Amino acid sequence: MPTILKVDGYRFFFFSDEHFPEHIHIEKADMYARIELESMKVTDSYNLNSKELKRLLKLVQENKNILQEAWDEHFKK
């Protein structure tokens, strides 16, 4: 379960046996979200209010290159 990035207590990671579409998991305490990298679609979330979810979408967008490169490297795309 490689951790790709940590920002403001949020941990951005993926599992070693992931599936497509390419996505990132994000957690902090009891909060969680899964966001697709290409479409920026939130495919799962819990214990996040709309403000926190908006912040996560912004963080994913700002770090999209880092997250995509980590995915490509790990899964040898």
**Backbone φ and ψ of 71, nearest 5°:** -60, -50
20-29's contacts with Cβ under 8 Å and 24+ in sequence apart are 22/68, 22/71, 24/60, 24/67, 24/71, 26/56, 26/59, 26/60
Domain boundaries, the chain: 3-74
Residue 58: what pLDDT?
Answer: 98
- Neighbouring C-beta atoms of residue 33, cutoff 10 Å: 24
pLDDT digits (tens, 9 = 90+) for 5-61: 999 999 999 998 888 999 999 999 999 999 999 999 999 999 999 999 999 999 999
pTM of the shown model: 0.94
pLDDT given at position 9:
96
The predicted pLDDT at position 5 comes to: 97
